[in-house]
Amino acid sequence: MDKRTSSHDRVIAQRQAEGWMFLIEAARDLRTTGAVVPSGKALARALTEPVRAQSPYPLAVLEAGAGTGPVTRALIPQLSRGSRLDVVEANPRFALRLKKIVAAHPSLMGPSGRVTVHQSLIEEFDTPHLYDVIVSGLPLTNFAPEHVERIMNCYMRLLHPGGTLTYFAYLGTRRARSMTASRAESRRHAAVDEAMAAFQRTYAVKRCTVWANLPPAHVWHLQRPLARADALSTPRPEEARR
């Protein structure tokens, strides 16, 4: 009983330390950190659904923008034997923390999947692998539209045909921003939404809403088409609407 209480206390203390770390990184650079608190369990569960759905097959999984690791922690126990997980995180302090989480994770002591943390921008991540599932935690709505298109094209290229990309978008950010931001900033956000909408119209297979997160978020599932390699060009808004 005492042992259980002390390990529970350790987990709470660890989560609090990660909450503070996330807040400090957000204060340093809110644009790339993208939030002031890490994702909650419900959001992590929704983002990792395609991995559960394909269990017990061995999968190649890529997580981009892992932060303090709430989604990584949800992914690791779901990896079946023979799976691999590559975690790509740009912030060197988060990457170091993620390496420690992976090194200490009890599920990795046995013959389970292989997990590697890479400190890199996802758009510069050089890998010979293709992935069955990509989970993105990147704050895409904070970036320039061309940057978002570059990252989305990079994800689609890194997926096996038939593979799934999941990512989230907080609810109401555009309206909140339109009340506080400059015109140029509102225009940038609208252009990003339009770029994302074009990818969604072309590749989306599912969207769900996670209310039990702060803030609530939509989770999108996009799928790389099974055939036609030429289907991978950047969808143009006017083409995608036809």
- Residues within the interface to ligand SAM (CB under 6 A): 32-35, 38-39, 64-67, 70-71, 88-91, 94, 121-123, 137-139
Residues 6+ apart with CB under 8 A from 126: none
Q: Specify the residue, 150 or 201, whose C-beta has the smaller distance to ligand SAM.
A: 150
**CB 142 → ligand SAM: shortest distance, Å?**
8
How far apart CA 195 and CA 215 sit, in angstroms, is 23
Q: Specify the residue, 64 or 117, whose C-beta has the smaller distance to ligand SAM.
A: 64
Q: Specify the residue, 120 or 161, whose C-beta has the smaller distance to ligand SAM.
A: 120
How far apart CA 204 and CA 36 sit, in angstroms, is 28
Q: Specify the residue, 28 or 81, whose C-beta has the smaller distance to ligand SAM.
A: 28
**CB 59 → ligand SAM: shortest distance, Å?**
19
Residues 6+ apart with CB under 8 A from 138: 34, 64, 65, 122, 151, 167
DSSP code string of 64-117: E--TTSHHHHHHGGGPPTT-EEEEEES-HHHHHHHHHHHHH-GGGSSS--EEEE
Angle of the 173-180 helix axis to the 183-203 helix axis, nearest 10? 160
**CB 211 → ligand SAM: shortest distance, Å?**
16
How far apart CA 27 and CA 29 sit, in angstroms, is 6
Q: Specify the residue, 70 or 145, whose C-beta has the smaller distance to ligand SAM.
A: 70
How far apart CA 216 and CA 205 sit, in angstroms, is 20
Q: Specify the residue, 71 or 108, whose C-beta has the smaller distance to ligand SAM.
A: 71
Q: Specify the residue, 38 or 113, whose C-beta has the smaller distance to ligand SAM.
A: 38
Angle at CA of residue 131, ends 128 and 135, nearest 5°: 125
**CB 67 → ligand SAM: shortest distance, Å?**
3
**CB 71 → ligand SAM: shortest distance, Å?**
5
**CB 128 → ligand SAM: shortest distance, Å?**
19
**CB 44 → ligand SAM: shortest distance, Å?**
7
How far apart CA 239 and CA 242 sit, in angstroms, is 6
